Amino acid sequence: MGEITILGAGAMGSALATPLSRNGHRVRLWGTHLDDARLDALSSGAPHPGTGVRSPEGVSWFRDTELEAALDGTDAVIIAVSSPGVHDTAARAAARIGDIPIMLASKGFHRRADGTITLMPEAVREALGQPERRIVAIGGPCKADEVAAGRITSTLYASHDREEAVRAAALLATDDYRVEVSDDETGLEICAPLKNVYAIALGYADGLQQRTGQPWHNLKSALFARAVGEMSVLSELTGGRTETAFGLAGVGDLEVTGLSGRNKVFGSRLGTGETVPQARAAMDAAGLTVEGIAACGLGAEFADQAGASPNRVPLLHAIRRVLDDAGSDPHTEFSTALTP
């Protein structure tokens, strides 16, 4: 039992209070200024707008300006801010974090000031000025509202130092929030943002079904298998292992992302016949950020940086062309990417 600080009061940050609280920890939930309305809700006893779940017992709330207090004397930190905010939040927290164990729930690719791209734990290490820092990455099929509500979830915690992941798992694991452990931090971090990219193609098949009134399940499943294969290729090329893509972090997380969520919804709009600008405008109007769009460009660039020739990841490049080239046809692009 200890004090655990969660940085970021979005859906995932607030959701992790559920298993922590169930294990008897006291939780400090810190939000950026973007989280003010969420913290207002939670601290007044109302449900979190993103999960529909109230803060469990033993949670206290901290505002943007209270970062030092949120970290002071805490036993572990979970970073769960939105991915563009990870580097800055870690830099702000650096002096107080010191050698406190860090778990990282935020996912994405990070573009450095010099233009190169790296994975999220590396961004944290650079922001902290601790190049050898142990960090535990959190991945796997994990919708925040279901975690918050205590419905069964299996996640993967991965760290270059496997024992660090074992210790982190011990803090959070419950009967309903199951944690597998791995040393393949890189593989997990590759799969996490890429599944959002591939979910766009899966959504496309769902949209075709809406448009035609007929299932396109064979197409969706073929795209699914191709996506898993490409995640395994990219994992291996960037220093991770293929098997991570075949477990919770790849197959599992792609499954959950293809069942629902913004990336899938965006893709399904393309399947119904909307153009990319039309679909983007509709998502923007609904206030929904489609993470897979930014992750696609960054991911393809990261793949290039890692030396992945385009013919080893044809679906990733097909999605990039669909998003970037007004003249490309999704149907042709996606079906061509399936060529054996």
Binding site for a copy of itself (CB under 8 A): 140-143, 145-147, 149, 151-154, 175-176, 178-181, 214-222, 224-226, 228-229, 232, 245-248, 251-253, 255-256, 259-260, 335, 338-340
Q: For residue 325, how many other CB atoms are within 10 A of its CB?
A: 11
CA torsion, ordered 205, 211, 214, 216, to nearest 10 deg = -10
CB 268 to a copy of itself: min, Å: 14
Any binding-site annotation on 143? no
CB 17 to a copy of itself: min, Å: 17
- Closest CB to a copy of itself among residues 149, 282: 149
Any binding-site annotation on 13? yes
Any binding-site annotation on 220? no
Any binding-site annotation on 10? yes
Residue the block writes with tokens 């919770």: 248
- Closest CB to a copy of itself among residues 166, 288: 166
- Closest CB to a copy of itself among residues 181, 298: 181
CB 220 to a copy of itself: min, Å: 7
The two tokens of residue 178 are 């199951």
The two tokens of residue 336 are 């061509």
Candidates 225, 257, 250, 222; CA nearest to 236 is: 250
- Closest CB to a copy of itself among residues 53, 127: 53
CB 239 to a copy of itself: min, Å: 20
Catalytic residue among 143, 195, 220, 264: 195
* CA–CA separation, 205 and 251 (whole Å): 18
Any binding-site annotation on 11? yes
Percent of the chain that is helix, strand, coil (3-state, to 5): 55, 15, 30
Any binding-site annotation on 107? yes
Any binding-site annotation on 311? no
Q: For residue 120, how many other CB atoms are within 10 A of its CB?
A: 26
CB 222 to a copy of itself: min, Å: 4
SS3 per residue for 212-248? HCCCCHHHHHHHHHHHHHHHHHHHHHCCCCHHHHCCH
* CA–CA separation, 336 and 317 (whole Å): 11
- Closest CB to a copy of itself among residues 61, 246: 246
Max Cα distance, the chain (Å):
58
Residue the block writes with tokens 């979190």: 48
195 a catalytic residue: yes
The two tokens of residue 30 are 């810190």
Are 315 and 201 within 8 A, CB to CB? yes
- List, by residue number, the catalytic residues: 195
Query: Residues annotated as binding site?
Result: 8-13, 107, 144, 262-263
Query: Residues annotated as binding site for substrate?
Result: 107, 262-263
Query: Residues annotated as binding site for NAD(+)?
Result: 8-13, 144, 262
